């Protein structure tokens, strides 16, 4: 059943909450299909207080929480300009991360987060929204395709020492 979701920007004061949520959703999503060593090697670098403080202070990155009845149930990370992990096209927006807690998945919370990203890009007159998704993450790939994203490339992604392939997907905004 779809639920109505509030979306609010994450601030520095939320850094601890964001870190806990990021680690939890990352491990819940990918530990079943990856080695614990590779997961921890990645997480120990990507999910640290110092890294999050730096990312929250970057004016070209924004995090937003999704809330249902006041409870935080997911988040999205948006990158602009040089904060984008690659391409760094100033007319594009990157969705670097989008995660919904397991218990809340399938209720259109992810859809509301990605719609928010698309609306944000349109409001800033950007021309596209893009993201990288693990080639074996079929659920997320199906989810992005349902929003009109199409594959435009791929790139290697290091999960610890495990070299994986991310599919790059893009939604072009200025067709109509």
Ligand X SMILES: CC(C)(COP(=O)(O)OP(=O)(O)OC[C@H]1O[C@@H](n2cnc3c(N)ncnc32)[C@H](O)[C@@H]1OP(=O)(O)O)[C@@H](O)C(=O)NCCC(=O)NCCS
Q: Which residues are catalytic?
A: 144
Residue 142 touching ligand X (CB under 6 A): yes
Mapped onto helix, strand or coil, the DSSP state of residue 7 is strand
Contact 98, 114 (CB under 8 A): yes
Cβ–Cβ under 8 Å, residues 96 and 43? no
Rank residues 100 and 173 by Cβ distance to ligand X and give the closer one: 100
Which range in 8-16, 46-54, 84-92, 102-110 contacts ligand X by CB under 6 A? 102-110
Residue 22 makes contact with ligand X by CB under 6 A? no
Q: Is 127 in the site for ligand X (CB under 6 A)?
A: no
Residue 134, both tokens = 């693990």
Selected range binding ligand X among 8-16, 54-62, 83-91, 135-143, rule: CB under 6 A: 135-143
Gap between the Cα atoms of 5 and 92, Å rounded: 25
**Whole-angstrom Cα distance, residue 140 to residue 67?**
20
Minimum CB distance to ligand X, residue 91 (Å): 22
- Does 143 engage in binding with ligand X (CB under 6 A)? yes
Among 100, 118, 167, 171, binds ligand X (CB under 6 A): 100
Residue 113: closest CA among 63, 151, 61: 63
Q: Does 103 bind ligand X (CB under 6 A)?
A: no
DSSP string computed for 46-74? HS-HHHHHHHHH-TTEEEEEEEETTEEEE
In whole angstroms, the minimum distance from the beta carbon of 134 to ligand X comes to: 7
User: By CB under 6 A, which span of 10-18, 34-42, 48-56, 97-105 interacts with ligand X?
Assistant: 97-105
Handedness of CA 130, 136, 140, 144 (dihedral sign): positive
Binding-site ranges for ligand X (CB under 6 A):
29, 98-100, 105-111, 133, 137, 139-140, 142-143, 146
């Amino acid at each position: 059943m779809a639920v109505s979701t509030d979306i609010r920007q994450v601030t520095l004061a939320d850094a601890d909450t964001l870190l806990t949520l990021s680690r939890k959703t990352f491990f819940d999503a990918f530990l079943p299909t990856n080695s614990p060593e590779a997961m921890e090697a990645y997480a120990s670098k990507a999910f640290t207080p110092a890294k999050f403080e730096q990312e929250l202070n970057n004016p070209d990155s924004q995090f937003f929480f999704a809330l249902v009845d006041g409870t935080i149930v997911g988040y999205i990370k948006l990158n602009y300009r040089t904060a984008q992990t690659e391409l760094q096209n100033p007319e594009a927006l990157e969705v670097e991360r989008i995660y919904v807690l397991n218990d809340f998945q399938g209720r259109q919370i992810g859809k509301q987060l990605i719609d928010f990203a698309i609306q944000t890009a349109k409001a800033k007159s950007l021309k596209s929204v893009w993201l990288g998704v693990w080639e074996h993450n079929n659920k997320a790939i199906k989810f992005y395709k349902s929003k009109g994203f199409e594959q435009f490339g791929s790139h290697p992604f290091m999960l610890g020492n495990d070299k994986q392939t991310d599919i790059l997907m893009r939604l072009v905004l200025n067709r109509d």
